[in-house]
Chain A
Amino acid sequence: MAGRAFDAQVVLSPPDSPRGKLLSQYVCARLTRMDDIDAGLLDRDWNNTLYYFIMNAEEHIYLRYGGRDSRSPDSYLNLSSLELALEKGLELHRQFQRGELKASVRAKPLFPRDIPLLVERTLARNACVECHLIGDYLNVQREQEAKLDKRAHMYRSPDIRGLGIELDVPKGLLVKSAREAAAAAGIQPGDRIAAIEGTTVWTFGDFQHRYDTVDRNAKEINLIVERNGKRLPVSLALPKRWWWTDLTFRQWTIEPRVYFESVPLAEEEKRALGLSVSGGFSSRVKHVDMFAEMTQSHSLRVGDIVFAVDGVESDEEAHTAELFIKLRKSAGQTLMLEVIRDGKRMKTQLKTYRMSFRK
């Protein structure tokens, strides 16, 4: 439903319900077009179909609500946690009015009219400036200007579950379970995440937005968690490729579509086949999408081992051939793959596909 049910439940909140009583203390606005909105101030992951800000007339943002992951647009939308956010927003507003909150430094303005591709392909045609188009055209522009950092701009909103943190969603940033990196850092179920990299966070939306700004070369992040009324600092070692997420729902124009999935070979198998071990991205094809045949982009088969792309066998970031292509190649490029099929080495071409929105 892409947030439609949640949207309706919020907008149609009965005035005498707890949520309705909270909302009645706000000026409520619901916008469906971004035409004249400052996307710099109200920046977010533009692939959210539903997103909320709690702010004031001076455009000071108290908190954000929303955020999604690759599982669903609704993963972090919950009426209970929304009520918590609404209560916190009122409290922060009172603090601001009493002069107890410092006004935030306003982000650099960025209006849709400042994005040439967006003007050409939506505003000039009187078409809707949809949120996801802002993200897509910004990235196309970055690509044209050689300013695109795919790990940050294409892999937006790293998944908190990649740190081993599962949240108790109705309760906001309360940790339900902590595994892997989070457990190793000492995070426990029942902790509430209160800050990330020095920024106070009240909601998952706050957390995800700040987490997304972490340098993709970072090795650790610093959190503050609340436990039994105390605030505890936690340094969390970031796992390899912590920034990686499933891009399927995003439909980026800049993403080279490869129409296959592969899994990395184990080191022993790489050695046995005489392939690059350290940093080698040789990987076994586990799935071939039907679009490969439809677009005649490649002739890979399940079980093929792809061990080189355009003569390159290793990469400091990519552990599979498809990730190497997505990170290092441009959409629409034709590449030469080196493959082992039925024990024999061969070469085969792959033409990556470029998605397009109204282009």
Chain B
Amino acid sequence: MRRREILLSAVLTAGWLAAASHYSAQSDDIRWIDNYREAIQEAKRTQKPIFLEFRCEP
């Protein structure tokens, strides 16, 4: 049962990552930065507010 859960989780995560990278490549409008300092610098440069997501991925 535990192995099945781990396998399912791995498949979902892999699917999510594949979809996310595919989508990032397709979209010029929404770029997701994975570095806090870079987000701050980008907000300074563009004068935009920051939408910051924290995702705990155990």
The count of chain A contact residues (Cβ–Cβ below 8 Å) is 46
With A15-B29, A27-B42, A28-B30 already in contact, the answer to whether A50 and B53 are too (CB < 8 A) is: yes
Measured between alpha carbons, how far is A294 from B50 in the docked complex, in Å? 49
A42: interface (CB < 8 Å): yes
Contact between chains at A32 and B31 (CB < 8 Å): no
| 8 A Cβ contacts from A6-44 to B | 7-8, 10-13, 15, 20, 23-32, 34, 36-37, 42, 44
A12-B20, A15-B29, A59-B40 known; A31 vs B55 contact (CB < 8 Å): yes
Q: How far is the CA of A59 from the CA of B52 in the complex (A)?
A: 11
A48 to B55, CA, bound (A): 9
Q: Which residues of A contact B55 (CB under 8 A)?
A: 3, 7, 30-32, 49-50
Bound-complex Cα distance A29 to B32 (A)? 5
Known: A50-B53, A54-B49, A56-B43. A29 touches B36 (CB 8 A): yes
**Residue of B20, B29, B54 touching A31 (CB-CB under 8 A):** B54
Mask, B12-55, CB within 8 Å of A = 1, is 10001001100100011111111110111111101111111111
Interface 1/0 per residue, A43-59 and B, CB below 8 Å? 01000111111111101
Task: Using CB atoms, name the residue of chain A closest to B12.
Answer: A4
Confirm or deny: A93 has a beta carbon within 8 angstroms of a beta carbon on chain B. Answer: yes
Q: Which B residues are CB-close (under 8 A) to A48?
A: 54, 56
Provide the bound-state CA to CA distance between A37 and B55, in Å.
Answer: 13
Check B49 against A26 for contact (C-beta < 8 Å): yes
The answer to whether B30 touches A57 (Cβ under 8 A) is no
Please state if A51 and B49 are interface contacts (CB–CB under 8 Å): no
Min CB gap B28→A, angstroms? 8
B50 is contacted by which of A7, A36, A57 (Cβ under 8 Å)?
A57
Give the docked Cα–Cα distance between A93 and B38 (Å). 19
Within the complex, the shortest CB–CB distance from A225 to chain B, in Å, comes to: 27
Given A20-B29, A57-B41, 18 extra CB contacts under 8 A: A11-B53, A13-B30, A23-B51, A25-B48, A27-B39, A27-B42, A27-B46, A27-B49, A27-B50, A29-B33, A32-B54, A32-B55, A32-B57, A49-B55, A51-B53, A53-B54, A62-B49, A132-B58
27 residue pairs from A and B, CB less than 8 Å apart: A7-B16, A8-B20, A11-B23, A15-B27, A15-B29, A23-B51, A25-B49, A27-B51, A28-B32, A28-B50, A29-B51, A29-B53, A30-B53, A30-B55, A31-B34, A31-B52, A32-B56, A48-B56, A51-B53, A51-B54, A54-B49, A56-B49, A56-B50, A57-B50, A90-B49, A92-B49, A97-B47
The 5 closest A-B pairs by CB, nearest first: A15-B29, A57-B43, A29-B39, A26-B51, A93-B49
